[in-house]
Every structure is written in C-alpha cells, then in structure tokens.
Structure 1
C-alpha cells in the first residue's frame, strides 16, 4: 500500500492515503494536482476549501475534488480526525468512462460533498475496506481488476446521489420521522420493537413502518440492524472485545443472530471484517508533528 500526504505527487495511476492526525494541522495555501481526489472523513471534523467554496466536513462526509482545482483542508475543533483519500488519473478509469460516460459526474455535479446517512456510511466504508484489503495483497489473483471495480462502484453510488437537474421541489421531512430516527439512533443498544416505538410516539405500527421505509429506504428491522452493525464495526476496529461481548453491547442477545445480520449487511463475517480493519490499521499513518510541518503548504 502506498501512502502519501495531501498535495503530494501520485507516482502511478492510482494511490491511497490513510491518516490519523491528532494535532492541529492546516494547509496554509491551496494546492492543485492533475489527478482526481476522493476524500472520506472516517472520524472527527475538518474544513475543506474547493475553489472559493468552504465545506464543513464531519464523520461520513464524502468529498470529490476535481483535478487542477485549488483546494486545501484546515483544522476544525477538535483537531483529531481520521481520513482516507483516493487519488487516480484519467488513465486509470478511462475504460470504465467509455462504457459509462457520466462516471465522473461526482467531480462536476452540484454536490461535491455528500453527507452520508448510517446505511450509506456502512456501504462506503465496506467498499473502502475492501479496496485496502485488495491493494495490500499484491499477489491476489485479479487484484487490479477487482480494485478498479470497487472504485467504479463508489463513483456510481456518488453519481446517483447527484441532483438530476429536474428542479423538482424537495419534500419536507415529516417531523415524526425525525424524532423516531433520533430515538433509534440514541437507543439502538436497548431491546426495541416496532410496536414499542409506535406506542411511544402515539402512532400505529403500520404508519411508523411506512414512514421509515419512505424516508430511510429501510424497514424498521433493517434500520435497527444497520445501526447495531455499524456500532459493532467500530468496536471491532477500535477495541479488543470478544465477539460475544460486542454482540451484547450493540443489542444482540444471540451471537448467531449477530453473525447472520453482520454478514447480511456487510457481505462478510465479523472475523473477516476485523482482519480487513487490521490491514487498514497497518497502513494508517499516525503523523508526528515533524511530518506535518514538512508537508505544510
């Protein structure tokens, strides 16, 4: 795995940079380069400047920076953050663009920064972990082709989230669903049923189910399981807890049920995910102040 700092030169057609930074760090001057950049903030907060626009990034922000456009990132409070950046040249994705001409739409669309919900974060982070896993093993059969397919999936996903330019008015979110989603986000570790949620908000279970499906794209069990599996992914990455302990902490009383839902949502077992996360940890840069000062613009 090649790891490079922001603003550095890409040696080939494609490179990846993963960094954990714990000290305040900003690029004092904007920089440009002749390759595309995808920036995903895995934790913390940053300020991203693209041209004359400023974007506030938080966990789950996915940014697409066009080639030859001035940009920089700057410290937000608190300074600790972890980000993964993908760099690639036109030549790397040329064959896919010929087949799908609007594949690079995220770099020229109306929304260069996407704020992902829980399910979307899980999807994107799984793609990124698979990228790291593939790129770290140079002897894996079909490595280059599979890696390129993962990048293509990421670009297609982001392209589908770009406004279609139809000018249709965005419908306001139902106030009830905001409260229901927030309650689920805050209490997913606890025993929870659709009937209990509906009763708490004085609504019928069928109505709550329709609201969730309409505004999140998922049924109540799907949404609840996604929240639990997302938290279990964090615990697998950041702690040394046993599987059964993690399952219990995120709300599963049955380890078999936990394993089944984990694989259903992520496409891999908890153990496979943990190994992939460890691969990412091995290539993550925990930058020291000397490195940051050297690469400051």
Structure 2
C-alpha cells in the first residue's frame, strides 16, 4: 500500500481463490455489489452475499476461497495514520466493526444504496489525483461509512461464520498456540490421529491454505510484530518464532511480506509515530 487510503473496484465472472494467504498492517473494507464469495478470516469461513461488508482488521489472516458464480466488489484500505487526528474515544466507535466477534455484516436495500453512494463518490474522486482537498474528501466519506456501519452493528445481527469441522477447529487452535514449535504436516496429523494425506486435503479444504503456508503466516506475522516492538537481533527474532535457520527465515519472510527482514525493520523504524 503506497498511500494511507486506497479504493479499488473489480468484477469477475468466476470466483477463483486468492493466490496467497494474506494479512497487512492496515484496515480493509470489502463490499459485495453482487454475486457471492466464500471468505476465510481468522479461523472462520464466511459466506458473503450481495450487499454485505467484510471488515478485515489489521493483521487478520484472510483469503477469498473458490466457490460461487462470480462477483462484483469494492475494496478500500486505510491506515491508522489516515484517521490520526481523531481521539481514542472516537476511534473506538469508528473502528468497532473491525473488533467485533462477527466480521461480516449484511445490509438491506436502503442501507446498501447509502453505502454504494459513498463508495461511488470515493471511486470518482480516486480517479483524479489532481483534485484539491482529495484526502479530506476521502476522510469525510470514510468517517460517514464507518459511523453508519458502527451504529448498525450495535443493533443488527452479523453473519455467523460457517461452522468448521470440530476436529479441524481443534487443529487450528493447536497450531495457533504452538506455531513456534517445529510443526510439520506429519507431526500434527499424527498428533490428531489422521493420515498425512487426508490431513493435507482437509486442512486445505477447510482453510484455503496449505499447511506450511499457514504455519509460516503465523510465524512471520509474529516476527513482524517483534521487529516493530523489540530491539532484538534478527537472528534472535527468527529463533523466537520457530526458525532455527536464518537463511530459511529470511527467504520465508520475503516470500510473505515482499521484503527482507532488515529492510522491513529499517522501514518501520523510519516511519514517524502518530
């Protein structure tokens, strides 16, 4: 993400899965104009229908899955810095949908019209980078959208996630608590008395991730947090998140984040805190 606010629209006849596991240190709002999607978000799978919003919090692991007959959507992203002038109390209200237990909200036709009007105004403004006061315009529309959805979320029921297989839910919980250990597909499948072949298929079908992808995502997400908040050496951080080989850590970190650990650390330390 090159700026503190972005918005993108897309329409597809088919619903392929997102290529990679995914997380980021900014907020994401996903709105579905039409069609349907299956969305993996923080250990749950949601069926997202027309007129629904998905709220992806910072560092939530998420991925769209295969399924459904096409979709038309808008996605907008924004950083903490973009709303930096608001007080903690105001941000608590504005960002409440991202922190609720349900991550997907459906809206009726009237509410959809209001949301879509805001999104299309953003789209029109986004197309012309020369407009004066462009950032202020985005901020005003985003605040309207966040306030609108926050108020409704306090009253309305959110979409419940699709129940995950009991055994798989137990496995995911185990991985989330023990990812710094030397977990392998074989060791985890053996622990839960499942054949490695069946375990691999079940894990992919349930989460959209291959098992090694998921473990690496958990580890690198924690490594990023440590690089932001800890003064330890990179080799020490690699060991703390489960990598005994620094070369493997560096390669995996770059695959997940697009940059080397040292580059990430320097970039984070150069950004002024708000």
| TM class, shorter-length | 0.5 to 0.7
Indicate conservation of the 8 Å contact 2:41/2:63, yes or no: yes
Offset at 1:139? 2.8
Cα distance in 1 for partners of 2:117, 2:15 equals 28
**Structure 1 residues 24 and 107, CA, compared in 2 at 3 Å: closer, same or farther?**
closer
Of residues 58, 71, 81, the one that matches 1:81 is 71
CA-based RMSD: 1.9
Residues 110 and 163 in structure 1, CA contact (< 8 A), matched pair in contact too: no
User: Is 1:104 equivalent to 2:95 in the alignment?
Assistant: yes
Q: Extract structure 1 runs of 4+ deviating beyond 4 A.
A: none
Instruction: Give the Cα separation in 1 of the matches to 2:44 and 2:133.
Output: 40
CA contact (8 A) 1:21 1:81 kept: yes
Pairs within 5 Å for 1:47-86: 47-78=38-69, 80-86=70-76
CA change 1:164–1:82 in 2 (3 A) is closer
1:263-296 per-position Cα deviation (integer Å, ceiling 9, x unaligned): xxxxxxxxxxxxxxxxxxxxxxxxxxxxxxxxxx
Instruction: Indicate conservation of the 8 Å contact 1:16/1:86, yes or no.
Output: yes
Equivalent residue pairs, number = 155
Rounded Cα–Cα distance in structure 2 between residues aligned with 1:24 and 1:153: 30
Verify the 8 A CA contact 2:32 2:74 in the aligned structure 1: yes
The 5 A counterparts of 1:1-297 are 10-27=1-18, 29-78=20-69, 80-98=70-88, 100-102=90-92, 103-163=94-154
Q: Which moved more, 1:145-154 or 1:103-112?
A: 103-112
Shift of residue 98, structure 1, vs aligned partner: 4.4
Deviations 1:60-88 (A, max 9, x none): 0111000111101113221x211110011
1:111–1:162 contact (8 Å) kept in structure 2: no
Report the alpha carbon displacement of residue 160 of structure 1 after superposing the two structures with TM. Answer: 0.6
5+ residue gaps, structure 1, are: 1-9, 166-297
1:139 and 1:96 mapped to 2: Cα distance?
26
Deviations 1:85-134 (Å, cap 9, x if unpaired)?
A: 00111111121354613211110023321101000000000000011112
**What's the TM-score, normalizing by structure 2?**
0.53
Q: Give the Cα separation in 2 of the matches to 1:42 and 1:97.
A: 32
What does the per-residue CA deviation read over 1:216-252, in whole Å, with 9 as the maximum and x for residues that have no partner?
xxxxxxxxxxxxxxxxxxxxxxxxxxxxxxxxxxxxx
User: How big is the shift at 1:137?
Assistant: 2.1
CA gap of 1:24–1:48, structure 2 versus 1, over 3 A, is: closer
Q: Distance in 2 between matches of 1:71 and 1:109?
A: 16
Structure-1 separation of matches of 2:43 and 2:72: 24
Looking at structure 2, the residues matched to 146 and 136 of structure 1 have their Cα atoms a distance apart, in angstroms, of: 13
